[in-house]
């Protein structure tokens, strides 16, 4: 009985240890690997900002600068706002607010450089959104845009879900 338990315990230990080793091997070969010491989102965002020359402190969520659906929709129709979609590229490609540029939290620096936004008028009105009220990415991206010099950045907190429900114009790949 005791021998059997020891054998099962050993097998369970092999399963757990084997999973860790295999997990580490898989992690070592993939491009989107997890660092051995996990970095919170805010720290990763700071690293992204450092790549575009902004080096002080952590990027934190911001509470101010929200915009409501009605005003946001009006600005989109008039094309008087730079719209930033802070969701992951996969979701952006599935559909986004008409005219929006994809600038996700992960890989922020690369996306920012590729977008050409750094060379544009930084006093222009910018609105950032992500999926819904519970996602924090829009606030983190908005704060990061402020730190790279954009002076009028607001967050559409209700996000893509509310936009879609409202029937406002969207762009989808053909």
Enumerate binding residues for other proteins (CB under 8 A): 8, 11-12, 15-16, 18-20, 22-24, 26-27, 30, 32-41, 106, 131-132, 134-135
Helix and strand counts by DSSP (H, E) for the chain: 7, 6
Q: Give 18 or 57: the residue with its C-beta nearer to other proteins.
A: 18
- The single residue listed with the structure tokens 């490609």 is 93
Q: Give 126 or 139: the residue with its C-beta nearer to other proteins.
A: 139
As measured in angstroms, the least distance from the Cβ of 47 to other proteins is: 13
Residue pair 137/44 in contact by the 8 Å Cβ criterion: no
As measured in angstroms, the least distance from the Cβ of 131 to other proteins is: 5
Q: Give 11 or 55: the residue with its C-beta nearer to other proteins.
A: 11
As measured in angstroms, the least distance from the Cβ of 167 to other proteins is: 21
Q: What is the 3 state secondary structure string of 21-87?
A: HHHHHHHHHCCCCCCCCCCCHHHHHHHHHHHCCCCCCCCCCCCCCECCHHHHHHHHHHCCCEEEECC
Q: Give 131 or 144: the residue with its C-beta nearer to other proteins.
A: 131
As measured in angstroms, the least distance from the Cβ of 121 to other proteins is: 33
As measured in angstroms, the least distance from the Cβ of 104 to other proteins is: 12
Q: Give 13 or 170: the residue with its C-beta nearer to other proteins.
A: 13
Query: Which distant-in-sequence residues (6+ apart) come within 8 Å of 127 by Cβ?
Result: 67, 72, 75, 81, 82, 83, 84, 153, 154, 155, 156
């Amino acid at each position: 009985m005791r021998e059997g338990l020891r054998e099962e315990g050993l097998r369970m230990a092999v399963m757990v240890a084997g999973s860790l080793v295999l997990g580490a091997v898989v992690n070592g070969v993939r491009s989107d690997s997890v660092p051995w010491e996990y970095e919170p989102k805010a720290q990763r965002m700071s690293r992204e900002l450092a790549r575009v020359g902004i080096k002080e402190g952590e990027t934190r969520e911001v509470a101010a600068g929200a915009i409501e659906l009605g005003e946001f929709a009006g600005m989109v129709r008039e094309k008087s706002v730079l719209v930033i979609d802070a969701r992951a590229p996969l979701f952006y490609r599935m559909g986004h607010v008409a005219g929006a540029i994809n600038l996700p939290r992960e890989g922020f620096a690369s996306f920012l450089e590729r977008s050409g936004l750094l060379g544009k008028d930084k006093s222009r009105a910018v609105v950032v959104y992500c999926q819904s009220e519970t996602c924090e990415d829009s606030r983190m991206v908005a704060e990061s845009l402020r730190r790279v010099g954009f002076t009028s950045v607001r967050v559409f907190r209700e996000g893509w879900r509310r936009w879609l429900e409202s029937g406002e114009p969207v762009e989808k790949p053909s």
